[in-house]
Amino acid sequence: MVTIKLLLLLLFVLLFISFSSSNNHIVSSLSLLPIKSCQNGGIDLYGNCICCFGYYGKECEMVDTRERCTQSTFTEYDIGPVCCWSKHRTIHNATNLKETTSWSISDNSMQTQNKKIKRMIKSYGPWDDNDINYFNHILKLDHIQRNGRLKQVYSLRFNNATDKIPRLPSICDSTNKPPLAFIIMLTNYDKESFQTLLNIIYHPKHYYVIHVDARNFKKEIIDTMNNDINHLFVSRQQKQPLQDPMNIQLVNIPFKGNWGTLSLVYMEVASYTYLFDMVKQRRESRLKSNSHHHDRQNTIVQWSHIINLSGHDMPTKSLHKLESFICSNLNTNYIEHFPTKDILIRFQMTSFDQGKWLVTIDREVFESNDCGKMGSLSIFDPESGGYGSQWHMIRYELAYHAISDIRSVERLLSLKFTSIPDESYYQSIKHFYPHLKHQSWKDQVNRKTYWSKYTSDTSHRYRVEKHDIDSLVPSLLFIRKVYDQDVRNYMIEKLHLLK
Ligand SMILES: *[C@@H]1O[C@H](CO)[C@@H](O)[C@H](O)[C@H]1NC(C)=O
Ligand SMILES: *[C@@H]1O[C@H](CO)[C@@H](O)[C@H](O)[C@H]1NC(C)=O
Ligand SMILES: CC(=O)N[C@H]1CO[C@H](CO)[C@@H](O)[C@@H]1O
């Protein structure tokens, strides 16, 4: 009780301070209310639950039995809310996806963002822990003053209009190559392969986010990893008078990675928030430590590209060569992009993340239970999307666009019930991307998996072996599924990866 009173007092003091110090309408930026789940796929945004279609009550615990869809079952899964909620998803409920709504495309004000976010939460549920984790990464809660009263509003934490990020010089040469950002996604911690990979790609000037799957996120493992990461950071720090904040971090609240579902994209876009924050921290810290030296802050520039890797991916070029490659193609985004029409089937069905993998609801179940319209085509215009490989290397503006443009967020959510959205999300956010015409786009992602080997023996099907290394194509940057340490060592030696 005492602590609650103290918290309230603190809140009041903080509100008071921000009241008196701001001259615009924003009163504070306190994220005191993390978004929580309610029952039956509902979500708690403002201290009140927003429930799925067919559910109501303070915690969404009440079922409206008059709605047939709330009774639906599908083999062993009880899919009531999943099935019902597509009743809410109509073209009229989409933010400019089909560009036919009255929601202004360019209005990026906090109030409008708040309305759009609330409407998206109403339209694209039901929600699970992964969804909520994503919202908590990308949204922020503010209080604005309206008619003399405080009102809670949600908006994107990275807002293009207000939160300017450091720029990247447009020229890149051999003596001045920009930093890179790496995301490393691990199913579990294999210390040897992780350290081998970092040994090759780590440099104090680059940025690294590590995501360990929530299912294997155990305290002891996390402590070990944090120790290892700290050790790496300290041992490789460049000798300079001032200490930069960390350039390598573990994702605090990880996602559960379920194959074929949106969770994989969540992991990546949530990682962007860490990567942008780390640049900001370094810049601010340099500014503080040397405020009379204005040019110091310019030594911290934006990273140019995101490269995401899995634990058993191996570079086939040294970091030095990788930097040079990116540098000589500085304006290029590497994304494979084909028209959506070839994979329309993925948009015609309604699939859902049942906690382990993706399950597609039978059309018959959908129709006989009055679950609304199947698929996503009423909310997603295939013409404006696309698909391709899930591997990509993208410029920082596109990564920023993914977390700072409300339409990118809606594109993501509207893919929630399609299968393998990591193969269509990046192609889809290009539709509203302001730099589309000014940047170059290459289909070639410069990564390889040996799919076709040993087809009869599935356990060895993708495993890279030493002799594979002798015949790599010169343009290759990464090879996947390198499970054996002696193959990694062979690569390091043969391909001069530490030079
Ligand atoms: C990168 O991120 C995507 C999700 O956007 C994921 O599906 C993919 O497998 C990741 N890994 C690699 C190596 O590209
Ligand atoms: C941010 O907004 C400005 C206009 O305010 C626009 O020119 C720019 O392209 C936007 N950037 C991104 C990445 O959306
Ligand atoms: C046009 C419109 O707003 N349609 C629906 C959008 O979703 C809500 C529920 O979240 C419905 O009540 C609206 O009718």
Render pLDDT for 409-445 as a digit per residue (tens, 0 to 9).
989 998 999 999 999 999 999 988 999 999 999 999 9
Residues 172 and 289: their CA atoms lie apart, in Å, by: 27
Closest ligand 3 atom number to CA of residue 122: 10
Closest ligand 3 atom number to CA of residue 123: 10
State the pLDDT at residue 7.
45
Closest ligand 2 atom number to CA of residue 397: 13
State the pLDDT at residue 175.
84
Closest ligand 3 atom number to CA of residue 93: 6
Closest ligand 3 atom number to CA of residue 88: 7
For ligand 3, whether the C-beta of 123 sits within 6 Å is yes
Q: Which of 264, 307, 425 is the best mutation target for the ligand 1 pocket, counting ligand atoms within 8 Å of the beta carbon and taking the most?
A: 264
Predicted confidence (pLDDT) per residue in 206-236, tens digit: 999 999 999 888 899 999 999 999 999 999 8
State the pLDDT at residue 102.
54
- Domains of the chain by range and CATH? 35-66+97-156 (no CATH), 170-286+300-340+386-444+484-495 (3.90.550)
Q: Which pLDDT band, with edges at 50, 70 and 90, does 97 fall under? A: low
Q: Which amino acid is at 307?
A: I
Please state the rounded mean pLDDT for residues 475-497: 96
Ligand 2 center–CA 160 separation, angstroms = 6
Q: Whose CA is nearest to atom 4 of ligand 2?
A: 161
Which pairs with CB-CB distance under 8 Å and at least 24 residues apart come from 116-120? 116/406, 116/410, 117/154, 117/155, 117/406, 117/409, 118/45, 118/50, 118/154, 119/93, 119/95, 120/95, 120/409, 120/410, 120/413
Please state the rounded mean pLDDT for residues 364-382: 87
In residues, how long is the chain?
Answer: 499
For ligand 3, whether the C-beta of 88 sits within 6 Å is yes
State the pLDDT at residue 372.
85
Asked if 257 contacts 234 with a C-beta cutoff of 8 angstroms, the reply is no
For ligand 2, whether the C-beta of 34 sits within 6 Å is no
Predicted confidence (pLDDT) per residue in 272-304, tens digit: 999 999 999 998 888 877 655 555 545 788 999
Total-model pTM:
0.87
Chain mean pLDDT for the chain: 84
Predicted confidence (pLDDT) per residue in 320-352, tens digit: 999 999 999 999 999 999 999 999 999 999 998
Sequence-ordered alpha helix ranges (H) in 373-469: 396-404, 406-414, 425-429, 466-469
- Give the number of whichever ligand sits closest to the CA of residue 106: 2
Name the DSSP letter for residue 259. Answer: B
State the pLDDT at residue 224.
94
Burial group, residue 391, by CB count within 10 angstroms (0-12, 13-18, 19+):
buried
State the pLDDT at residue 91.
56
Does the pLDDT value for residue 313 go beyond 80? yes
State the pLDDT at residue 103.
58
Count of Cβ atoms closer than 10 Å to residue 44 Cβ? 18
Does the pLDDT value for residue 380 go beyond 90? no
Which residues surround ligand 1 with Cβ inside 6 Å? 185, 264-265, 268, 308-310, 313, 390-391, 422
Residues 202 and 483: their CA atoms lie apart, in Å, by: 20
State the pLDDT at residue 93.
52
Q: Which pLDDT band, with edges at 50, 70 and 90, does 171 fall under? A: confident
State the pLDDT at residue 163.
61
State the pLDDT at residue 387.
95
Q: What are phi and psi of 269, to 5 degrees?
A: -70, -35
Q: Report strand pairing: 440-442 vs 392-395.
A: unpaired
- Tracing tokens 């040079």 back to the chain, one arrives at 324
State yes or no: cis peptide before 474, omega within 30 of 0: no
Q: Which of 256, 268, 307 is the best mutation target for the ligand 1 pocket, counting ligand atoms within 8 Å of the beta carbon and taking the most?
A: 268
Residues 420 and 377: their CA atoms lie apart, in Å, by: 16
Burial group, residue 398, by CB count within 10 angstroms (0-12, 13-18, 19+):
buried
Q: Which pLDDT band, with edges at 50, 70 and 90, does 401 fall under? A: very high
Q: Which of 182-186, 237-241, 336-340 has the lowest mean pLDDT?
A: 237-241
Q: Which pLDDT band, with edges at 50, 70 and 90, does 5 fall under? A: very low
**Structure tokens that stand for 435 in this block:** 């730099």
State the pLDDT at residue 395.
96
Predicted confidence (pLDDT) per residue in 27-66, tens digit: 333 334 578 999 999 999 888 899 988 899 999 999 999 9
Q: Whose CA is nearest to atom 8 of ligand 3?
A: 88
Q: Whose CA is nearest to atom 14 of ligand 2?
A: 401
Q: Which pLDDT band, with edges at 50, 70 and 90, does 94 fall under? A: low
Q: Which pLDDT band, with edges at 50, 70 and 90, does 491 fall under? A: very high
**Structure tokens that stand for 397 in this block:** 């503006």
Closest ligand 3 atom number to CA of residue 119: 10
State the pLDDT at residue 220.
93
Q: Whose CA is nearest to atom 10 of ligand 3?
A: 122
Q: Whose CA is nearest to atom 13 of ligand 1?
A: 309
Ligand 2 center–CA 161 separation, angstroms = 7
Residues whose CB falls within 8 Å of the CB of residue 453, separated by 6 or more in sequence, listed in order: 460, 461, 462
Q: Report strand pairing: 248-250 vs 207-212.
A: parallel
Q: Whose CA is nearest to atom 2 of ligand 1?
A: 268
Question: Regarding predicted confidence, which is higher, 59 or 252?
Answer: 59
Of these ranges, 23-27, 77-81, 141-145, 224-228, the one predicted with the greatest mean pLDDT is 224-228
State the pLDDT at residue 18.
35
- Give the number of whichever ligand sits closest to the CA of residue 436: 2
Ligand 3 center–CA 395 separation, angstroms = 36
Predicted confidence (pLDDT) per residue in 257-280, tens digit: 998 999 999 999 999 999 999 999
Q: Whose CA is nearest to atom 12 of ligand 2?
A: 401
- In b/e form, how buried is each residue of 320-337, taking b as 16+ CB within 10 angstroms? ebbbbebbebbebbbbbb
Q: Which of 91, 122, 410 is the best mutation target for the ligand 3 pocket, counting ligand atoms within 8 Å of the beta carbon and taking the most?
A: 122
Residues 464 and 456: their CA atoms lie apart, in Å, by: 16
Please state the rounded mean pLDDT for residues 130-136: 94
Does the pLDDT value for residue 403 go beyond 50? yes
For ligand 3, whether the C-beta of 122 sits within 6 Å is yes
Q: What are phi and psi of 315, to 5 degrees?
A: -70, 150
Please state the rounded mean pLDDT for residues 168-195: 92
Q: Whose CA is nearest to atom 4 of ligand 1?
A: 265
Ligand 3 center–CA 179 separation, angstroms = 45
Closest ligand 2 atom number to CA of residue 400: 13
State the pLDDT at residue 34.
76
Please state the rounded mean pLDDT for residues 305-330: 96
Residues 25 and 122: their CA atoms lie apart, in Å, by: 27
State the pLDDT at residue 12.
41
Does the pLDDT value for residue 498 go beyond 90? yes
Percent of the chain with pLDDT over 70: 84
State the pLDDT at residue 92.
54
For ligand 2, whether the C-beta of 405 sits within 6 Å is yes
Q: Which of 43, 85, 93 is the best mutation target for the ligand 3 pocket, counting ligand atoms within 8 Å of the beta carbon and taking the most?
A: 93
Residues 60 and 55: their CA atoms lie apart, in Å, by: 5
